């Protein structure tokens, strides 16, 4: 008996020690409330997840069981502020799962995903809690709520209904099972893409195969080889920063083909990492879920909570841009074929030729060589350029913090202050590819902004990318696409940083999917404005500003290759919509479906859709399902919004910048997005601005 008691006591002591050692169970000690990344270990996650869920469920139960009549504060606000520990652990884990993952974290994600799905269902399928929400919703006109409170109440009511709160018990049980399996399938899809991306390496031993490649590209490939203990060789990967320069400059057509095919066939090799069966499972589950909730298709369900509202609206919108984009792409293909014909080889233009010959054509038409631009796009200078832009537009200040703990040596941290020196938030930047990071670029919240008990809790934001890495003798020198991407993701960061919402669910980027890209895409408009370029386009060796002649060439080439760019993008948007308007998934074959979709839209064979199905992370893992159109939808908004600056003759116009900050960036989801836009612009957006900017009109 004594041994049993002793064992129990020792067990409790060990649990207590583990809890005391777990940084998630303590207040973060730095003054910004940032995570102590240097102390967090994989073994800390699951205990924190379990305790966070336990605490959150207790809070939810207390709200649902409250004997007092429901009020906005004791029900809606209480739910929104609840789950502090769970938010704390989730934000860190899922940020790192995207940017700094490993096999152990993949196992944790697989274990915790169904648990989190069940926990979410336990909240949204809680009958007593929903009854309180319904009472408030049905009487909302009598509650004396302000606009933000009314928005939150309506949002919660809709979330409960969309989560199955009105279903009978049998259908609720079905929905729980669908949500659990869907979460795991989406997790598998993303992991397969990451594994396939990491597994491919093209090793070149003969330097003759590198013909046409600039020295900087060769050097980067040599250093990648060195990292893999392949000294004296060259390695290319399916990271864009590695293979895109090959597509642009390599005279070795077979190498161009091999790398493009390696990229576009990821997770499509009929092996254990193949995603075709995973897509079938995801689409079956999404379609079942939509039908269960009373919608004809997954797209009908998803779009019901967006600006667009219906699949027809999206399809009609995409067609207005697709038709002129495809027409322009056909003209571009003709021009490139003529250029190929000059080589006298009798070859037909293929997707792996487009980048190479368009680069030659750009040089011929505009005397513009992207490789000659890169020395002026040192990453640190470009980042300082967006900082300076934010300073001129919004009065922000960025102060580097060297003593903050980070999760990888590549990460840098900045304190962001307002013009009056008040704290805006903290920004982490993480820009280089590595095996533990998924491809692409994104912004995440580590801590969300909200106001409570008179305290304005400021956000912590992370910008992540996969840009060209520094080499032994050169810093990171970006290409034009990477410059635009850095500006784009910084726009998301500003949306997250400048928010002034009261409630967490309404702050920052928690907006409709087809509105969230406005703050990011509008930033791209400043990229190539000469006034802005002069602040960041400085030669990495001499510090000299890019010559005006080069800036003028960039301006003149502004609509070059826009047929290709828009066709590649829009074909992915239409493919996404085609997937999510499926009403019957019987006998569903992914390869046949994708082929039929591309044929139906009239896709030309010289261009490959930007994301083929098996690596289309946006729609199968990261929340853009039936939403990839958002980039083009928001482009209409951003083109029109930037026009507000251009009309004044001052791209830094303080009056327009203040209006954009106050009506868009600070407001989050506190009101209907179109109302917010009209408050800024004074009118609905004009789509003509987009077509004109892209040279499609």
What is the rounded CA–CA span in Å between residue 105 and residue 93?
Answer: 8
Asked whether residue 607 is domain-assigned, the answer is yes
549-595 residue pLDDT tens: 999 999 999 999 999 999 999 999 999 999 999 999 998 999 999 99
Residue 174 lies in a domain: no
Burial of 566-589, coded b for 16+ CB within 10 Å and e otherwise, reads bbbbbbbbbbbbbbbbbeebeebe
Examine residue 295 and state whether it is found in any structural domain, yes or no. yes
Residues 360 and 407 both lie in one domain: no
For residue 20, the model assigns a pLDDT of 72
Evaluate whether residue 427 is within a structural domain.
yes
Give Cα separations from 98 to 84, 193, 426, 446, 627 (angstroms): 22, 12, 19, 13, 20
Q: List C-alpha distances in Å: 23 to 42, 81, 220, 413.
A: 11, 21, 38, 20
Answer yes or no: do 591 and 551 share one domain: no
Residue 151 lies in a domain: yes
The two three-digit tokens of residue 675, written as one number: 């109302």
What is the spatial distance between Cα 607 and Cα 69, in angstroms, rounded to a whole number?
Answer: 61
Last residue of a domain, one of 150, 166, 182: 166
Q: For position 6, what pLDDT does the model report?
A: 39
529 and 461 in a common domain: yes
Q: Is residue 83 part of a domain?
A: yes
Beta carbons of 576 and 610 less than 8 angstroms apart: no
53-59's contacts with Cβ under 8 Å and 24+ in sequence apart are 53/86, 53/115, 53/116, 53/119, 55/83, 55/84, 55/85, 55/86, 56/82, 56/83, 56/85, 56/86, 56/119, 57/119, 57/122, 59/83
Q: Copy the structure tokens of residue 256.
A: 């161009």
Indicate whether 363 and 379 sit together in one domain.
no
Residues 435 and 317 in one domain: no
CB 194 within 8 A of CB 237: no
> Cα–Cα distance between 29 and 415 in angstroms, integer?
16
**489 counts as catalytic:** yes
The tally of domains found in the chain comes to: 4
Last-in-domain residue among 620, 642, 666: 620
Quick one: 224 and 327 in the same domain?
no
Give the CATH number of the domain where residue 286 resides.
1.10.1370.10
Segments in the chain below pLDDT 70: 1-19
Q: Same domain for 70 and 124?
A: yes
pLDDT recorded at residue 697: 82
Last residue of a domain, one of 264, 286, 306: 264
**Catalytic residue (choose from 370, 448, 489, 606):** 489
pTM: 0.94
Beta-strand ranges (E) seen in 448-555 are: 450-452, 455-457, 460-464
Beta bridge partners of 399: 415
Beta strands in 391-499 (DSSP E): 397-401, 412-417, 423-430, 442-447, 450-452, 455-457, 460-464
Instruction: Give the domain extent around 60.
Output: 2-166
Same domain? 103 vs 154? yes
- Judge if 80 and 52 occupy the same domain: yes
End-to-end CA distance of the chain: 86
Short-list 608, 585, 587, 589, CA closest to 598: 608
What is the model's pLDDT at position 618? Answer: 97
Helix (H, G, I), strand (E, B) or coil at 560: coil
SS3 603: coil
Domain identity same for 233 and 356? no
Same domain, 6 and 153: yes
Q: How confident is the model at residue 1, as a pLDDT?
A: 38
Report the 10 Å Cβ neighbour count for 146.
10
Q: Are residues 569 and 536 in the same domain?
A: no
Asked if the structure places residue 176 within a domain, the reply is no
Q: Is residue 192 part of a domain?
A: no
Domain CATH for 96: 1.10.1370.40
Question: pLDDT digit string (tens) for 196-251?
Answer: 999 999 999 999 999 999 999 999 999 999 999 999 999 999 999 999 999 999 99
């Amino acid at each position: 008996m004594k041994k049993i008691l002793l064992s129990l006591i020792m067990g409790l002591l060990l649990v207590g020690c583990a809890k005391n050692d777990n940084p998630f169970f303590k207040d973060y000690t730095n003054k910004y409330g940032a995570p102590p990344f240097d102390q967090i270990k994989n073994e800390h996650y699951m205990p924190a997840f379990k305790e966070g869920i336990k605490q959150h469920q207790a809070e939810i139960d207390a709200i649902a069981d409250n004997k007092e009549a429901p009020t906005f504060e004791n029900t809606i606000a209480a739910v929104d502020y609840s789950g502090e520990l769970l938010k704390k652990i989730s934000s860190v884990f899922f940020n790192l799962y995207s940017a700094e993952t490993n096999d152990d974290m993949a196992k944790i994600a697989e274990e915790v995903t169904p648990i989190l799905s069940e926990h979410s269902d336990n909240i949204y399928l809680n009958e007593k809690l929903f009854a309180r929400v319904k009472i408030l919703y049905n009487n909302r006109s009598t509650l004396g709520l302000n606009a933000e409170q009314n928005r939150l109440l309506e949002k919660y009511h809709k979330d409960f209904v969309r989560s199955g709160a009105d279903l009978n018990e049998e259908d609720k049980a079905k929905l729980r099972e669908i949500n659990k399996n869907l979460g795991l399938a989406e997790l598998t899809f993303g992991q397969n893409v990451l594994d396939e991306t990491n597994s491919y390496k093209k090793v070149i031993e003969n330097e003759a195969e590198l013909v046409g490649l600039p020295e900087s590209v060769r050097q980067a490939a040599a250093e990648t080889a060195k990292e893999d203990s392949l000294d004296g060789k060259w390695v290319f990967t399916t990271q864009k920063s590695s293979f895109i320069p090959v597509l642009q400059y390599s005279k070795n057509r077979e190498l161009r083909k091999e790398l493009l095919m390696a990229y576009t066939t990821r997770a499509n090799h009929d092996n254990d990492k193949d995603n075709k069966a995973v897509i079938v499972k995801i689409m079956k589950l999404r379609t079942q879920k939509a039908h269960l909730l009373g919608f004809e298709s997954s797209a009908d369900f998803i779009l019901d909570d967006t600006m667009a509202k219906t699949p027809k609206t999206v399809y009609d919108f995409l067609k207005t841009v697709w038709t002129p984009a495809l027409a322009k792409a056909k003209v571009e293909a003709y021009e490139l074929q003529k250029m190929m014909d000059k080589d006298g080889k009798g070859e037909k233009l293929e997707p792996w030729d487009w980048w190479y010959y368009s680069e030659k054509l750009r040089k011929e038409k505009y005397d513009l060589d992207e490789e000659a631009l890169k020395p002026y796009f040192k990453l640190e200078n470009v980042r300082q350029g967006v900082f300076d832009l934010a300073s001129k537009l919004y009065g922000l200040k960025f102060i580097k913090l060297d003593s903050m703990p980070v999760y990888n040596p590549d990460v840098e941290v900045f304190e962001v202050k307002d013009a009056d020196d008040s704290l805006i938030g903290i920004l982490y930047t993480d820009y280089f590819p590595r095996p533990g990071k998924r491809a692409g670029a994104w912004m995440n919240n580590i801590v969300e902004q909200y106001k409570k008990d008179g305290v304005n809790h400021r956000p912590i934001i992370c910008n992540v990318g996969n840009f060209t890495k520094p080499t032994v003798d050169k810093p990171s020198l970006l290409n034009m696409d990477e410059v635009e991407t850095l500006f784009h993701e910084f726009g998301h960061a500003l949306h997250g940083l400048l928010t002034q919402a009261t409630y967490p669910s309404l702050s920052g980027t928690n907006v409709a999917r087809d509105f969230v890209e406005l703050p990011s895409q509008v930033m791209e408009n400043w990229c190539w404005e000469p006034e802005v370029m002069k602040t960041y386009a400085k030669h990495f060796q001499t510090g000299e500003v890019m010559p005006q002649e080069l800036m003028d060439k960039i301006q003149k080439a502004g609509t070059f290759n826009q047929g290709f760019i828009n066709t590649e993008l829009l074909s992915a948007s239409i493919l996404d919509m085609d997937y999510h308007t499926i009403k019957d998934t019987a006998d569903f074959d992914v390869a046949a479906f994708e082929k039929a979709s591309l044929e139906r839209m009239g896709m030309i064979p010289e261009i490959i859709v930007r994301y083929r199905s098996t690596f289309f992370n946006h729609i199968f893992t990261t929340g853009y399902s039936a939403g990839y159109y958002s980039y083009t939808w928001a482009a209409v908004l951003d083109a029109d919004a930037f026009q507000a600056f251009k009309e004044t003759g001052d791209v830094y116009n303080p009056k327009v910048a203040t209006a954009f900050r106050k009506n868009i960036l600070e407001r989050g989801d506190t009101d209907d997005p179109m109302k917010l836009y009209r408050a800024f612009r004074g009118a609905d957006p004009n789509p003509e601005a987009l077509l004109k900017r892209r040279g499609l009109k």
